[in-house]
Each structure stands twice: as C-alpha cells, then as structure tokens.
Structure 1
Amino acid sequence: MAFEASYRDYVAELGDEERYPFPMDFDHRDFPAMLARINDFATGKNLPAGYVPSTTYWLVQGNSLLGVSNLRHYLNDRIRHMGGHIGLGIRPGYRGRGLGSVLLRLTIAQARARGLEEIHVHCEQANRASARMIVANGGVLDSEVAGSGGYGVVQRYLVTAP
C-alpha cells in the first residue's frame, strides 16, 4: 500500500504505451483490490482461462516504484509459444540506466529458487534493448516466431541453469 501514489504516477508516466508486464493492465482504481488480484495470481486463485499462476515483483528505491516484473510459475502451450516465463517493464523516466537488466537478473534468481532450470524470456525482434538485456543475463536465442495481434517477429530466448 505504501507505493500506491508511486504506482499511479508510474502508470500515468506510461501514458498510451503498452504496459509490461501484464499485471500493469489490472484496474488500479481500487488499489487494495488490485493488490489482492496480484496475490490471487501468485497463489493460483481466480485465474482467467488460459492464465497460469504468476508472481509480480516491484523494483523500488525509497518510495519510488522503478520497475515491475512478472514470473509465470510454469508455461502452458500458448505462453510457451509467445510470452515466456518473465515479463518486465521499467518506468520511462528510469530507462537506459541498466535497471531492466538488474530486474531481470533478480527475477531469474526467483525462477531458479522455484526450481526452474530452463527459463523462457521473449521479446519483439524490434526491441533491441530488451534483446541485449536478455543476452546479458544468459539468454540464448532459441527461435523466432511470427507475432500476432499487433506484435512483430518475437524472439524466444532460453536462460538455462548455469
């Protein structure tokens, strides 16, 4: 609850930009209800069809929310094809400072703690910054697939156990 104002500022800063990871799209007008929904996803309760349990992490400094990541606990066929285990985003005013790489590294550590040995991390081919961040964190390009629903070519990286 302490980050409600910063969360709202983060969403406002995103403007019309597509929000990553997907929990950033949750209705936040009732902030406690949004936090409960995030918790439901982490515990696998009340999931919409096609979704899997996932945990959302916030990268914070002081009272400021700088980035958000989401770790899917496992993959179904749809998100194995396009989506992967980890999605993340950095607040626009904090991009270009290496925070995405830090957040990805921390989220990979959480995946490892859950026992995941092969972690799928996907990004659009046109998003070179994301691709560099994934490679810097041990990602190896596995394949590319044609996007759908407004997505271009999606690059699918694997981060395997060290």
Structure 2
Amino acid sequence: MKLVSPSANYEASYRQYIEELGNEERYPFPMDFDHADFEALIQKLSNFAQGKNLPEGFVPSSTLWLVDETEIVGVTNIRHYLNDRITHCGGHIGLGIRPKYRGKGYGKLLMKLSIQRLQEMSEGPVHIHCHKENSASANTIKACGGLLDSEIEADGKIVQRYLVKPGD
C-alpha cells in the first residue's frame, strides 16, 4: 500500500470506485468533481494542490490515493493550511475508503499516512473533524492520536473536532 498523486494510470479503478459508491455521499469533497474528462479531473486536482484557480474560500489541498498496485483503496484530501471557516468546521483532513475495503483497517492506515504527510508540510496541531454519528471515523481519529477538543453544531448535526498534536 502506498499514497500516490492522482494519475491517468488509475482511471479504471477510480471509475469503479465511483460506481461502487452509488448514491452514497462521496467523501472527501474532490470525489464530487466531474470525472467525465479524466485528464481534466487530474489537472483540477493538481491545480488545487498548487493553489491555482481555487474557488473563493478554498485553500490549497492535496488529494492522494491509497493504492494497492493498480487498485484505489481510499482517497485523502489534505488541506495545506486552514482558514477561519475550515478551522471552525472542516479541519485539515478528509478521507474515504472504497466500500469493498471498509472494516479492514485501511481507514486507520490512510489517516496515519495523511497525518504524517501534513506534519511534514507544517507545524502545529492537526485538526480533524467528523460527524458525531460517524463512530467509525471518530474511532479512527482517536486511534491515530486524536483528542476530542470540542463539539459544535453545523447544518443541524453535531461535529466533533479533534486535535493531533505534534509528536503524537
């Protein structure tokens, strides 16, 4: 298993991943980007990583794929830094695991790799948020050193805000 930057080499696996998700909410947010033109998708993800052509209120973020040879197992989106809006609700890391790979420890692996990557990029605590009802995410965050900092209400749901401090 390794983290890779998005590339055309994984187009078939990406399309299968999207198909497996069906009507499920796609997470992290770049999974909602139009993928009909796959090369355009790859360019858009590259632009986000470089901070180019970002929508207002967005910060640079790197989307990486957890792969096992040619198969995408999961997707992480790592925000390079936080603005006020995503400090309040959103955090540094959003990730998702492909349905057929869930419950096998890949979420924890991807979270650990994401935290490591972010800590290489910047100092300070890592903010990771999840809905309170999503116990699998909360347990993964805690297993990776996350300590509950606070809870807030956003869009009618309780959001738990965790911190991973440097060196944890």
What residue is the counterpart of 2:157 in the other structure?
152
Unaligned runs of 5+ in 2: 1-7
Q: Deviations over 1:8-54 (max 9, x none)?
A: 00001011111111110110000000000000000000000110000
Distance in 1, Cα, partners of 2:105 & 2:123: 24
What is the aligned counterpart of 1:125 among 107, 122, 132?
A: 132
The 2-side partners of 1:81 and 1:17 are apart by: 25
- TM-superposed CA distance for 1:145, in Å, is 0.4
Separation of aligned partners in 2, 1:20 and 1:79:
16
Tell me, in whole angstroms, the C-alpha distance in 2 between the residues paired with 1:54 and 1:11: 21
User: Does structure 1 residue 54 correspond to structure 2 residue 61?
Assistant: yes
Q: Distance in 2 between matches of 1:110 and 1:133?
A: 17
Report SS of the residue matched to 2:111: helix
2:4 counterpart residue number: none
**Percent of aligned pairs sharing the same letter:** 56
Alignment gaps of 5+ in structure 1 = none
How big is the alpha-carbon RMSD for the aligned residues of Structure 1 and Structure 2? 0.8
Question: Normalising by the residue count of structure 1, what TM-score does the alignment of the two structures yield?
Answer: 0.97
Q: Secondary structure at the match of 1:2?
A: helix
Distance 2:85 2:22 in 1: 28
Choose from 71, 76, 81 the match for 2:78: 71
Q: Give the counterpart letter for 1:129 in structure 2.
A: A
Tell me the amino acid that sits aligned with residue 116 of structure 1: E
After TM superposition, the runs of 4+ consecutive aligned structure 1 residues lying more than 2 A away are none
Match of 1:31 among 26, 38, 53: 38
**What does residue 121 of structure 2 align with?**
114
Alignment length (residue pairs): 160
Q: Give the alignment partner of residue 88 of structure 2, picking from 60, 78, 81.
A: 81
1:73-101 alpha-carbon deviations (Å, 9 max, x no partner): 01111111111000000000100001000
Secondary structure class of the residue paired with 1:3? helix
Q: Deviation digits for residues 109-157 of structure 1, max 9, x if unmatched?
A: 1111102321000000000010000000000000000121xx5100000
Q: Deviations over 1:52-77 (max 9, x none)?
A: 00001100002110100010001111
- Alpha-carbon distance in 1 for matches of 2:67, 2:157: 31
